[in-house]
Amino acid sequence: MTIVRLRAEGPADALAIRQLLAEAFAGPDVRLPPEARLVEALRGSGAWLPELSMVAEVDGELVGYALLSRVEVWPGAVPALALGPVAVRPARQRRGYGQDVVRAALDAAAELDERLVVVLGTPAYYRRFGFSPAARFGLTSPWSGLGDPWQALVLPSVDGSDDPVPSGEVTFPPPWSQV
Ligand SMILES: CC(C)(COP(=O)(O)OP(=O)(O)OC[C@H]1O[C@@H](n2cnc3c(N)ncnc32)[C@H](O)[C@@H]1OP(=O)(O)O)[C@@H](O)C(=O)NCCC(=O)NCCS
Protein backbone atom coordinates (compact mmCIF):
# COMPACT_ATOMS: atom_id res chain seq x y z
CA MET A 1 0.00 0.00 0.00
CA THR A 2 1.22 3.49 -0.85
CA ILE A 3 1.60 5.73 2.19
CA VAL A 4 1.17 9.45 1.49
CA ARG A 5 2.78 11.80 3.95
CA LEU A 6 1.11 15.22 4.08
CA ARG A 7 3.06 17.94 5.86
CA ALA A 8 3.99 21.60 5.77
CA GLU A 9 7.09 22.37 3.72
CA GLY A 10 10.40 22.25 5.54
CA PRO A 11 13.63 24.17 5.02
CA ALA A 12 14.98 21.57 2.58
CA ASP A 13 11.91 21.46 0.31
CA ALA A 14 12.12 24.74 -1.65
CA LEU A 15 14.12 23.31 -4.56
CA ALA A 16 11.94 20.20 -4.91
CA ILE A 17 8.80 22.41 -4.87
CA ARG A 18 10.31 24.59 -7.58
CA GLN A 19 11.07 21.51 -9.70
CA LEU A 20 7.58 20.07 -9.14
CA LEU A 21 5.93 23.34 -10.21
CA ALA A 22 8.24 23.64 -13.22
CA GLU A 23 7.19 20.14 -14.34
CA ALA A 24 3.48 20.49 -13.61
CA PHE A 25 3.13 23.87 -15.33
CA ALA A 26 5.70 23.31 -18.10
CA GLY A 27 4.78 25.05 -21.33
CA PRO A 28 6.57 26.09 -24.52
CA ASP A 29 8.34 28.88 -22.62
CA VAL A 30 11.67 27.62 -21.27
CA ARG A 31 11.63 30.06 -18.36
CA LEU A 32 10.43 29.03 -14.92
CA PRO A 33 6.59 29.10 -15.11
CA PRO A 34 4.77 31.98 -13.36
CA GLU A 35 3.32 29.58 -10.75
CA ALA A 36 6.84 28.67 -9.57
CA ARG A 37 7.93 32.30 -9.56
CA LEU A 38 4.80 33.23 -7.61
CA VAL A 39 5.61 30.74 -4.84
CA GLU A 40 9.16 32.03 -4.55
CA ALA A 41 8.03 35.66 -4.46
CA LEU A 42 5.38 34.89 -1.85
CA ARG A 43 7.86 32.90 0.27
CA GLY A 44 9.84 36.09 0.87
CA SER A 45 6.77 38.22 1.59
CA GLY A 46 4.42 39.03 4.45
CA ALA A 47 1.68 36.92 2.80
CA TRP A 48 3.60 33.70 3.49
CA LEU A 49 2.23 31.35 6.16
CA PRO A 50 4.77 28.53 6.54
CA GLU A 51 2.26 26.06 8.05
CA LEU A 52 0.07 26.40 4.96
CA SER A 53 2.63 25.56 2.28
CA MET A 54 1.69 21.89 2.08
CA VAL A 55 3.48 19.00 0.40
CA ALA A 56 2.51 15.39 -0.34
CA GLU A 57 5.38 12.93 -0.14
CA VAL A 58 5.43 9.30 -1.29
CA ASP A 59 8.47 7.14 -0.48
CA GLY A 60 10.50 10.27 0.16
CA GLU A 61 9.55 11.82 -3.20
CA LEU A 62 7.69 15.11 -3.23
CA VAL A 63 4.69 14.41 -5.49
CA GLY A 64 2.16 17.14 -4.71
CA TYR A 65 1.95 20.72 -3.55
CA ALA A 66 -0.75 23.18 -2.42
CA LEU A 67 -0.26 26.70 -1.11
CA LEU A 68 -2.54 28.90 0.96
CA SER A 69 -1.31 32.45 1.42
CA ARG A 70 -2.65 35.68 2.88
CA VAL A 71 -5.05 37.98 1.07
CA GLU A 72 -7.37 40.64 2.48
CA VAL A 73 -11.04 41.47 2.10
CA TRP A 74 -11.94 45.16 1.98
CA PRO A 75 -13.34 47.18 3.59
CA GLY A 76 -11.58 46.41 6.85
CA ALA A 77 -8.53 44.43 5.62
CA VAL A 78 -10.17 41.27 6.93
CA PRO A 79 -7.67 38.42 6.57
CA ALA A 80 -8.52 35.54 4.22
CA LEU A 81 -6.54 32.96 2.24
CA ALA A 82 -5.92 32.32 -1.44
CA LEU A 83 -5.40 28.74 -2.60
CA GLY A 84 -2.82 28.18 -5.31
CA PRO A 85 -0.84 27.04 -6.96
CA VAL A 86 -1.89 23.40 -6.67
CA ALA A 87 0.19 20.86 -8.53
CA VAL A 88 1.07 17.17 -8.78
CA ARG A 89 4.06 15.77 -10.66
CA PRO A 90 2.80 14.74 -14.12
CA ALA A 91 3.88 11.12 -13.65
CA ARG A 92 1.89 10.95 -10.40
CA GLN A 93 -1.33 12.69 -11.44
CA ARG A 94 -4.85 11.21 -11.17
CA ARG A 95 -4.03 9.11 -8.11
CA GLY A 96 -5.69 11.35 -5.57
CA TYR A 97 -2.55 13.19 -4.41
CA GLY A 98 -3.93 16.55 -5.57
CA GLN A 99 -7.04 16.07 -3.47
CA ASP A 100 -5.01 14.81 -0.51
CA VAL A 101 -2.69 17.81 -0.45
CA VAL A 102 -5.49 20.37 -0.95
CA ARG A 103 -7.54 18.80 1.85
CA ALA A 104 -4.49 18.79 4.14
CA ALA A 105 -3.92 22.50 3.46
CA LEU A 106 -7.60 23.34 4.08
CA ASP A 107 -7.66 21.28 7.29
CA ALA A 108 -4.51 23.02 8.54
CA ALA A 109 -6.10 26.40 7.77
CA ALA A 110 -9.28 25.49 9.68
CA GLU A 111 -7.10 24.44 12.65
CA LEU A 112 -5.54 27.92 12.55
CA ASP A 113 -9.09 29.35 12.74
CA GLU A 114 -8.99 30.71 9.21
CA ARG A 115 -12.52 31.20 7.85
CA LEU A 116 -12.39 32.12 4.18
CA VAL A 117 -10.45 30.71 1.20
CA VAL A 118 -10.65 31.95 -2.37
CA VAL A 119 -9.34 30.26 -5.51
CA LEU A 120 -9.20 30.92 -9.22
CA GLY A 121 -9.47 27.58 -10.99
CA THR A 122 -11.58 25.00 -12.75
CA PRO A 123 -14.89 24.60 -10.88
CA ALA A 124 -15.03 20.91 -11.92
CA TYR A 125 -11.93 20.32 -9.79
CA TYR A 126 -12.47 22.70 -6.87
CA ARG A 127 -16.15 22.08 -6.17
CA ARG A 128 -15.24 18.68 -4.63
CA PHE A 129 -13.63 20.61 -1.75
CA GLY A 130 -16.78 22.69 -1.27
CA PHE A 131 -15.78 25.76 -3.31
CA SER A 132 -18.58 27.61 -5.09
CA PRO A 133 -18.76 30.86 -7.10
CA ALA A 134 -17.32 33.69 -4.97
CA ALA A 135 -19.96 36.10 -6.28
CA ARG A 136 -22.47 34.24 -4.09
CA PHE A 137 -20.53 35.47 -1.04
CA GLY A 138 -20.40 39.03 -2.36
CA LEU A 139 -16.65 38.69 -3.05
CA THR A 140 -15.03 40.51 -5.94
CA SER A 141 -11.45 40.57 -7.25
CA PRO A 142 -9.54 41.46 -10.42
CA TRP A 143 -10.72 38.03 -11.68
CA SER A 144 -14.44 38.44 -10.93
CA GLY A 145 -15.09 38.99 -14.63
CA LEU A 146 -14.03 35.41 -15.34
CA GLY A 147 -17.21 34.20 -13.65
CA ASP A 148 -17.40 30.73 -12.13
CA PRO A 149 -13.60 30.05 -11.90
CA TRP A 150 -13.51 32.78 -9.21
CA GLN A 151 -14.56 30.68 -6.20
CA ALA A 152 -14.71 30.77 -2.40
CA LEU A 153 -15.01 28.35 0.48
CA VAL A 154 -16.04 29.05 4.08
CA LEU A 155 -14.13 26.83 6.52
CA PRO A 156 -15.78 25.42 9.64
CA SER A 157 -14.85 27.41 12.73
CA VAL A 158 -12.79 25.56 15.35
CA ASP A 159 -15.07 26.48 18.26
CA GLY A 160 -18.34 26.13 16.34
CA SER A 161 -18.97 29.89 16.50
CA ASP A 162 -20.85 31.42 13.63
CA ASP A 163 -18.91 34.63 12.90
CA PRO A 164 -20.09 36.46 9.81
CA VAL A 165 -18.05 35.74 6.69
CA PRO A 166 -16.54 38.90 5.19
CA SER A 167 -17.69 40.13 1.83
CA GLY A 168 -16.18 42.82 -0.40
CA GLU A 169 -13.14 43.23 -2.62
CA VAL A 170 -10.39 40.61 -2.19
CA THR A 171 -6.96 42.17 -2.64
CA PHE A 172 -3.92 40.09 -3.54
CA PRO A 173 -0.40 41.18 -2.50
CA PRO A 174 2.07 42.39 -5.17
CA PRO A 175 3.66 39.01 -6.10
CA TRP A 176 0.34 37.97 -7.68
CA SER A 177 0.52 40.68 -10.30
CA GLN A 178 4.31 40.88 -10.61
CA VAL A 179 5.25 37.36 -11.74
C1 LIG B 1 -4.93 19.67 -11.22
C2 LIG B 1 -4.03 18.68 -10.47
C3 LIG B 1 -3.42 19.40 -9.28
C4 LIG B 1 -4.93 17.53 -9.97
O5 LIG B 1 -4.16 16.65 -9.18
P6 LIG B 1 -4.30 15.07 -9.37
O7 LIG B 1 -3.55 14.41 -8.30
O8 LIG B 1 -3.94 14.76 -10.78
O9 LIG B 1 -5.87 14.88 -9.22
P10 LIG B 1 -6.61 13.89 -8.22
O11 LIG B 1 -6.14 12.50 -8.49
O12 LIG B 1 -6.55 14.40 -6.85
O13 LIG B 1 -8.10 14.07 -8.72
C14 LIG B 1 -8.50 13.48 -9.90
C15 LIG B 1 -9.81 14.10 -10.28
O16 LIG B 1 -9.58 15.47 -10.63
C17 LIG B 1 -9.99 15.70 -11.94
N18 LIG B 1 -9.07 16.65 -12.55
C19 LIG B 1 -7.74 16.56 -12.59
N20 LIG B 1 -7.24 17.66 -13.22
C21 LIG B 1 -8.30 18.44 -13.54
C22 LIG B 1 -8.44 19.68 -14.18
N23 LIG B 1 -7.39 20.38 -14.64
N24 LIG B 1 -9.67 20.17 -14.35
C25 LIG B 1 -10.75 19.52 -13.88
N26 LIG B 1 -10.69 18.31 -13.27
C27 LIG B 1 -9.46 17.80 -13.09
C28 LIG B 1 -9.96 14.35 -12.62
O29 LIG B 1 -10.84 14.32 -13.71
C30 LIG B 1 -10.43 13.44 -11.50
O31 LIG B 1 -11.84 13.55 -11.37
P32 LIG B 1 -12.74 12.40 -10.71
O33 LIG B 1 -12.33 12.30 -9.26
O34 LIG B 1 -14.13 12.92 -10.86
O35 LIG B 1 -12.43 11.18 -11.50
C36 LIG B 1 -2.93 18.08 -11.37
O37 LIG B 1 -3.52 17.43 -12.45
C38 LIG B 1 -1.94 19.09 -11.88
O39 LIG B 1 -0.92 19.33 -11.25
N40 LIG B 1 -2.18 19.68 -13.07
C41 LIG B 1 -1.28 20.64 -13.65
C42 LIG B 1 -1.22 21.92 -12.85
C43 LIG B 1 -2.59 22.54 -12.67
O44 LIG B 1 -3.33 22.71 -13.65
N45 LIG B 1 -2.92 22.94 -11.43
C46 LIG B 1 -4.22 23.49 -11.09
C47 LIG B 1 -4.25 24.94 -11.26
S48 LIG B 1 -3.46 25.85 -9.98
Pairing of strands 139-140, 168-171: parallel
Ligand 1 shell residues, CB under 6 Å? 24-25, 84-88, 93-99, 121-122, 124-125
| Ligand 1 atom index nearest CA of 100 | 12
Q: For residue range 30-47, what is the model confidence (pLDDT) as tens digits?
A: 889 999 999 999 999 999
Nearest CA to ligand 1 atom 3: 87
Residue 1 has pLDDT above 90, yes or no: no
Residue 22 has pLDDT above 80, yes or no: yes
C-beta of residue 51 within 8 angstroms of C-beta of residue 106: no
Q: For residue range 139-153, what is the model confidence (pLDDT) as tens digits?
A: 999 999 999 999 999
For the chain, the residue count is: 179
Q: How far is the CA of 86 from the centre of ligand 1 (A)?
A: 9
Nearest CA to ligand 1 atom 14: 94
pTM of the model: 0.96
Domains of the chain: 4-178 (3.40.630.30)
DSSP string covering 13-75:
-HHHHHHHHHHHT--S--SPPHHHHHHHHHHTSTT--GGGEEEEEETTEEEEEEEEEEEEEET
